[in-house]
Amino acid sequence: MPLIEDHHYLKICAQIASSLSISIAAARRKIEVAAAKEGKKDLQSRKAIAQQILEQTLNNDKKQSVSASESFDQLLKALKEEENFMLED
Protein backbone atom coordinates (compact mmCIF):
# COMPACT_ATOMS: atom_id res chain seq x y z
CA MET A 1 0.00 0.00 0.00
CA PRO A 2 1.67 3.25 -1.08
CA LEU A 3 1.93 6.04 1.42
CA ILE A 4 -0.67 8.75 0.87
CA GLU A 5 0.37 12.05 2.41
CA ASP A 6 -2.84 14.00 1.92
CA HIS A 7 -3.54 15.83 5.18
CA HIS A 8 -7.33 15.63 4.95
CA TYR A 9 -7.26 11.89 4.20
CA LEU A 10 -4.92 11.21 7.11
CA LYS A 11 -7.10 13.29 9.42
CA ILE A 12 -10.17 11.22 8.52
CA CYS A 13 -8.14 8.03 9.06
CA ALA A 14 -7.10 9.28 12.49
CA GLN A 15 -10.70 10.10 13.42
CA ILE A 16 -11.83 6.62 12.35
CA ALA A 17 -9.00 5.07 14.34
CA SER A 18 -9.94 7.10 17.39
CA SER A 19 -13.63 6.29 17.23
CA LEU A 20 -12.99 2.56 16.70
CA SER A 21 -10.05 2.39 19.13
CA ILE A 22 -7.76 0.92 16.48
CA SER A 23 -4.46 2.03 14.99
CA ILE A 24 -4.27 4.48 12.10
CA ALA A 25 -2.73 1.74 9.96
CA ALA A 26 -5.71 -0.52 10.67
CA ALA A 27 -8.09 2.31 9.79
CA ARG A 28 -6.23 2.90 6.51
CA ARG A 29 -6.41 -0.83 5.74
CA LYS A 30 -10.14 -0.78 6.42
CA ILE A 31 -10.54 2.05 3.89
CA GLU A 32 -8.26 0.32 1.38
CA VAL A 33 -10.30 -2.90 1.59
CA ALA A 34 -13.57 -1.00 1.13
CA ALA A 35 -12.09 0.87 -1.86
CA ALA A 36 -10.82 -2.37 -3.39
CA LYS A 37 -14.27 -3.95 -3.06
CA GLU A 38 -15.74 -1.04 -4.99
CA GLY A 39 -12.89 -1.04 -7.50
CA LYS A 40 -11.86 2.55 -6.74
CA LYS A 41 -8.20 3.52 -6.77
CA ASP A 42 -8.02 7.32 -6.85
CA LEU A 43 -7.55 9.51 -3.82
CA GLN A 44 -10.87 11.35 -4.10
CA SER A 45 -12.90 8.14 -4.00
CA ARG A 46 -10.86 6.90 -1.03
CA LYS A 47 -11.60 10.15 0.79
CA ALA A 48 -15.31 9.69 0.07
CA ILE A 49 -15.22 6.11 1.34
CA ALA A 50 -13.29 7.20 4.43
CA GLN A 51 -15.85 9.91 5.11
CA GLN A 52 -18.68 7.36 4.80
CA ILE A 53 -16.96 4.98 7.21
CA LEU A 54 -16.39 7.83 9.67
CA GLU A 55 -20.04 8.87 9.51
CA GLN A 56 -21.14 5.27 10.06
CA THR A 57 -18.93 4.85 13.11
CA LEU A 58 -20.07 8.16 14.59
CA ASN A 59 -23.71 7.23 14.00
CA ASN A 60 -23.15 3.86 15.68
CA ASP A 61 -21.57 5.62 18.65
CA LYS A 62 -24.57 7.93 18.94
CA LYS A 63 -27.01 5.02 18.74
CA GLN A 64 -25.15 3.10 21.42
CA SER A 65 -24.61 6.29 23.44
CA VAL A 66 -21.25 4.81 24.49
CA SER A 67 -18.14 5.04 22.37
CA ALA A 68 -15.95 2.02 21.70
CA SER A 69 -13.22 3.35 23.97
CA GLU A 70 -15.67 3.95 26.82
CA SER A 71 -17.12 0.45 26.52
CA PHE A 72 -13.57 -0.97 26.51
CA ASP A 73 -12.79 1.02 29.66
CA GLN A 74 -15.90 -0.44 31.31
CA LEU A 75 -14.79 -3.97 30.42
CA LEU A 76 -11.39 -3.39 32.04
CA LYS A 77 -12.84 -2.40 35.42
CA ALA A 78 -12.68 -5.05 38.12
CA LEU A 79 -15.88 -6.32 39.65
CA LYS A 80 -16.33 -5.85 43.39
CA GLU A 81 -15.92 -9.57 44.13
CA GLU A 82 -12.80 -9.79 41.93
CA GLU A 83 -10.92 -6.77 43.29
CA ASN A 84 -8.61 -8.68 45.64
CA PHE A 85 -8.30 -11.86 43.58
CA MET A 86 -4.76 -13.18 43.28
CA LEU A 87 -3.32 -16.28 41.69
CA GLU A 88 -0.80 -18.32 43.60
CA ASP A 89 2.62 -18.98 42.09
89 vs 86: CA distance, rounded Å: 9
Mind spelling out the 3-state secondary structure of 9-31?
A: HHHHHHHHHHHHCCCHHHHHHHH
pTM over 0.85: no
Position 73 scores a pLDDT of 75
**What average pLDDT score do residues 60-82 get?**
71
pLDDT per position as a tens digit, 3-54: 667 889 999 999 999 888 889 999 999 999 999 999 988 889 999 999 999 9
Helix (H, G, I), strand (E, B) or coil at 11: helix
